[in-house]
Amino acid sequence: MRDRSLPVRSVLADREMELGPDEVISTTDHWTLKKGADGIAWLILDRKDESANTLSEDVIVELDRMLSEVEGLRPKGLAIRSAKTGGFAAGADIRDFRGVTDAAEIEERMREAHRVIDRLAALPFPTIAIVHGHCLGGGLELALACDRRIAVHGAKLGFPEVMLGLHPGLGGTFRLTGLIDPIEAMTMMLTGKSAHDRKAKRLGLVDELVQERHVDSAVRAAVNSGKPKRGHGLKGQALSFGPARKLAAGRMRAETEKRAPEEHYPAPYRLIELWEEHGGDPREMRKGEIRSFSRLLAGETAQNLIRVFFLREKLRSLAKGESRVKHVHVIGAGAMGGDIAAWAAAQGLTVSLTDLDPKALAKAVGRAAAFYDKKLHSGIERRDALDRLVPDIAGDGAARAHIVIEAVAEKAEVKKKVYAGIAPRMKPDAILATNTSSIPLSELAEGLPFPERLVGVHFFNPVTRMELVEIVSHDKASDEALARARAFCGDISRLPAPVKSAPGFLVNRALTPYLVEAFVMLDEGVAKETLDRAARDFGMPMGPIELADQVGLDIGLSVAESLRAALDDPMPGVPGWLRDKVEKGDLGRKTGKGLYEYDKDGKPRKDKDAPSPEPGMADRLIMPMLNTCARLLREEVVTDADTLDAAMIFGTGFAPFRGGPMHYARSRGVDDVVATLKALEERHGARFSPDEGWEAVRAE
């Protein structure tokens, strides 16, 4: 969720208004040191030419210089905060880490950074971090080095390093476990989940929670209180003993193994080992943190996940610009349409949702309310989101909307009938967006009075979790409409991936051969649990059978058949039993039964005694996907391999630690991939024939 706190004005301007023009003592590129009439020094972080603060090496070097200035001032206390409206600091500057694979070099750099942060922690007068907005990773480690933390309402604090294949590396491992309940601290670091303002206060991560206008008085009170005396509590005292930590660490490993196998994601396990061995001994934990962090950062997993970070940033950059969208009208209150409407309303837009079936509308609003109860952080946020989501049985919202999103049945004739009724009512500059997953937009544009304003805005299921949205172009789509559609994705915290209109677009085109091959293997007698395990062992978040059930067997069947009809790919037909299941209404997780049966909590019932995967089984599943990706690049459905990799990671969950399908193919070796495809072709047929596109990939 986006931060909903009130915007913080320039901190420097606010302090001048409240306290008069404080004396500026010193400035660097990124820091300003001021001293107020009350004797309190203020150290303001404002990274030059950056939209958000990050702790680059330059920032740390300048902080060291500023601390010398602060020590010379001998103030009553020191307050540190950010001049950025978005937050305190977003963490370390990942650009400093990209491509660095020498662990010894990293250790040396990290020891120097620790020296500076430790210098802050050792100042003899009270130090206070004032946190607003995001305070993550290295930013939180900077705040933890202060004696106290005062949070402005709306602050969000956390350690997301595990998402980059790392753990905290600038003192977070021992300072957080020494400050709050060690189990809560380890859980935060192992999961990467953030604590919003009230939870952070409840955990003891922040000392005070205030409105922006009360920051100065809270700082003065904190300085006057002197340095705090911290206790570890009964649980902290118990966990200072090795046997208690060993028991807790065992439980942590078991829980972590459910989400992240050690062979793919080593960072959580190194963090658990670090705490188990040295918890309660900050000096030894500090040494171990630097050593462990450096080795992880130099490893393939972290470097690939850092690559994924930059792939995300690339897609985010495509969402810049003005969408001019304030009102969204969604046609179709099914699983996709209802969830698109719920998500857009949660992101602050007015949304009207229409459907011919009042029961479908009511069900969609009920799902939205349940989602808001679970994910929004206050009653006011939940109330406001529901107020913005307007059930619209008459469809009147179409005349006021700046974008109309059609999410009706995946049949061209049904969609075109909807367009014929809606087009005359739309604003002259409104975008008509289709959520089609496979129908060519040139077909949908036929007869439309404004084909230049028709674009594909293809969300993925589940909408509230999947970040990717394919922005689908066609020959008549205007550049302005496509740019606004990409910016709309930015408005609702989604990642746009530009693709050309072609059967299945990008993600479904690449994913379908993977799923169909799993169906063929099921037909050959391979257990569905075995297939799913083979894919998970490769690194996929779920196997193809469970994925097919989650997407919906009806949708999977429709996409597979439409692709087979539209393409000259030698893709096998879907088995007859799959069509029988769809006709019976066994559509997967949404109906409680598909290829798996599901319990009342929506979890699949699996045979725990199913055979383990045979060698090469994962290749048989993954290679058709890789081969299709090479073809998509050759056909220019997507402009470049990085966009393709990003789309497959954020649209299908393709093993992030592998850096994307084309990055994986290059890392494995294109010659090896082609040889594997040829071997599979000999055994299983022409569908594995290597695409011509591999020649271009090899030449890169």
Q: What is the pLDDT of residue 2?
A: 36
Average pLDDT of the chain is 92
Residue that is written with structure tokens 């979790």 in the block: 465
- Burial of 231 (C-beta count, 10 Å sphere; 0-12/13-18/19+): exposed
Q: Dihedral sign for Cα 456, 460, 461, 463, please.
A: negative
Distance in angstroms (rounded) separating the CA atoms of residues 64 and 60? 6
Which of 400-409, 457-466, 570-579 is the most confident on average?
Answer: 400-409
Neighbours of 187 (CB within 10 A): 13
CA angle 18, 22, 25 (to 5 degrees): 155
CA dist., res. 515 & res. 519, Å (int): 6
Any idea which of 230-239, 641-650, 661-670 has the lowest mean pLDDT? 230-239
**Mean pLDDT across 487-516:** 95
Res 234: pLDDT: 64
Share of the chain above pLDDT 90, in %: 83
Please report the pLDDT score of residue 235 as a whole number. Answer: 67
CB-based contacts of 413: which residues, under 8 Å, 6+ apart?
none
* Average confidence (pLDDT) over 296-301: 96
HSE-up of 15 (CA within 13 Å, CB side)? 28
| Domains assigned to the chain | 11-298 (3.90.226.10), 322-493 (3.40.50.720), 508-699 (1.10.1040.50)
| Cβ(645)–Cβ(659) below 8 Å | yes
CB 498 within 8 A of CB 471: yes
Residue 579 falls in which region: left (phi positive, over 0), alpha (psi -120 to 50) or beta: alpha
Instruction: State yes or no: pLDDT of 8 exceeds 70.
Output: no
What average pLDDT score do residues 267-291 get? 95
Question: Using one digit for the tens of pLDDT, what is the confidence trace for 232-256?
Answer: 666 677 777 788 899 999 999 999 9
**CB of 79 closer than 8 Å to CB of 128:** yes
CA atoms of 111 and 100, how far apart (whole Å): 16
Per-residue pLDDT tens digits for 392-450: 999 999 999 999 999 999 889 999 999 999 999 999 999 999 999 888 999 999 999 99
Residue 602 has pLDDT above 60, yes or no: yes
Per residue in 42-101, pLDDT (tens digit) is 999 999 888 899 999 999 999 999 999 999 999 999 999 999 999 999 988 888 888 888
pLDDT of residue 94: 87
Which pLDDT score is estimated for 19? Answer: 35
Q: Which residue has the higher pLDDT, 15 or 23?
A: 23
pLDDT at 233 (0 to 100): 64
- Decide if 329 contacts 401 (C-beta within 8 A): yes
Beta pairing partners, 229: none
Instruction: Determine the pLDDT at residue 324.
Output: 97
Q: Which phi and psi (to 5°) does residue 495 adopt?
A: -105, 115
Q: Is the peptide bond before 462 cis (omega within 30 degrees of 0)?
A: yes
- pLDDT at 17 exceeding the cut of 60: no
Quick one: pLDDT band at residue 13, thresholds 50, 70, 90?
A: very low
Give the per-residue pLDDT at 449.
96
What's this model's pTM, rounded to 2 decimal places? 0.89
CB of 531 closer than 8 Å to CB of 614? no
Q: What is d(CA 518, CA 655) in angstroms, rounded to the nearest whole number?
A: 17
Task: Supply the residues annotated as catalytic.
Answer: 141, 161
Number of H helices, E strands in the chain: 29, 19
Q: Indicate the range of 5-19, 545-559, 564-578 predicted with least confidence.
A: 5-19
Residue with the two structure tokens 């963090």: 271
Q: Hey, is 41 helix, strand or coil?
A: strand
pLDDT confidence of residue 20:
36
Region 15-26: what's the mean pLDDT? 58
User: Looking at the predicted structure, is the pLDDT value of residue 4 above 50?
Assistant: no
One-letter amino acid at 168 equals P
Helices (H), 11-137: 11-19, 57-73, 103-121
Structure tokens, 389 = 């989501």
